[in-house]
Amino acid sequence: MLARHVTSVTVLLSLSGGGTGAAAGHQYGRPQGQVALTYLANMGVHLASQGATVVIDGLHRGALPDYASLLPDASRALEAAMRPYERIDVMLATHRHLDHFDAMAVGARMRADTHVVFAAPAETIDSLLANVPALRGNTRVIAMRGGDSLQVGAVRVHAVDLPHNATPTRRVENLGYVVTLGGLRILHVGDADPSVTTYASRRLAALQLDAAIVPFWYVWRRRSPVLDAIGASCYIASHVPLRDTMEVLPAQRGSDAVVKVLASRGARFSLTRVGAEPEDRPPGTRSLPTSCQLFRR
């Protein structure tokens, strides 16, 4: 199944001088992690593996015309808990800006669904409760702070305090999330400032992240200190303004740091790690997973 799609792999990030990719992974024998990623809009993604599902920054209503809004069918299905999004374990919002979160959209989903948990920074939760007072006291609405962790079924979420880009007004509270599901560890940073100092102090590289979903400006340059500080095996670029999509895409193709630019709403990918756990690797080999690949599905 996967072999059929190898030709459509966009970019792989090589992690060592030799032996990257599937061949090296099979040499070690295990483990393999796999998560299906669906691009919703802007930084919105749906992640699924073995029945566990997470949506990050996926419930918004296109209030900022410069940024991609959800396709109408996807928006309806997410808000009304209909196929293909009838089952979601956790919805996360990195911050309350309207290209990442919409209180009424989240409120609609919470009313339509008795299972899903919504977690976000306290400030975002305040916005939600101000607009949807019926959710006050709902135990499935959770305010998170940097350092907090949450387990819902097979999904683990760890919140990381990552300040928002500088803005003319007071900065909103922005959290990054390290989400573990399907054997993969995936970071979503929201609109975090690409500060090397911040990322280095959060010690994310020690987590050996499989993938990081970042705004496209993080990966603009071929070699970026902030990517080194994040230390993920691959990067998924998002938050591409609609008008720039065609300019951004060709530029990114030349970058060895980018696995895929999220630009086509509804596109689905299989995010796959083939590599060895750190304790299984031969001495002297790189400590990061062997490869992290996106296959178009």
Contact 173, 260 (CB under 8 A): no
- Give the per-residue contact string, 127-166, with Zn ion (x = CB under 5 A; - = no): ----------------------------------------
Q: Which is nearer to Zn ion, 28 or 217 (CB)?
A: 217
77: tokens are 């299905």
Nearest to 236 by CA among 98, 48, 25, 43: 43
Nearer to Zn ion, 99 or 113 (CB): 99
Binders of Zn ion among 166-225, rule CB under 5 A? 191
Stretch 93-122 residues interacting with Zn ion (CB under 5 A): 97, 99
Helix orientation angle between 103-112 and 122-131, rounded to the nearest 10 degrees:
70
Whole-number minimum distance, CB 225 to Zn ion, in Å?
A: 22
Give the per-residue contact string, 60-99, with Zn ion (x = CB under 5 A; - = no). -------------------------------------x-x
Report, in Å, the least distance between residue 201 CB and Zn ion: 21
Nearer to Zn ion among residue 99 and residue 102 (C-beta) = 99
**Which of 33/215 has CB closer to Zn ion?**
215
Minimal distance in Å, beta carbon 167 to Zn ion? 7
- In the bound complex, what is the minimum distance in angstroms from residue 57's beta carbon to Zn ion? 8
Q: Are 195 and 165 in contact (CB under 8 A)?
A: no
Nearest by Cα to 92 from 203, 179, 171: 179
Least distance to Zn ion from the beta carbon of 19, Å? 38
Q: What is the DSSP string of 109-176?
A: HHHH-SS-EEEEEHHHHHHHHHH-GGGTT-TTEEEE-TT-EEEETTEEEEEEE-PBPP-SSPPPP-EE
Binding residues (CB under 5 A) for Zn ion: these are: 97, 99, 191
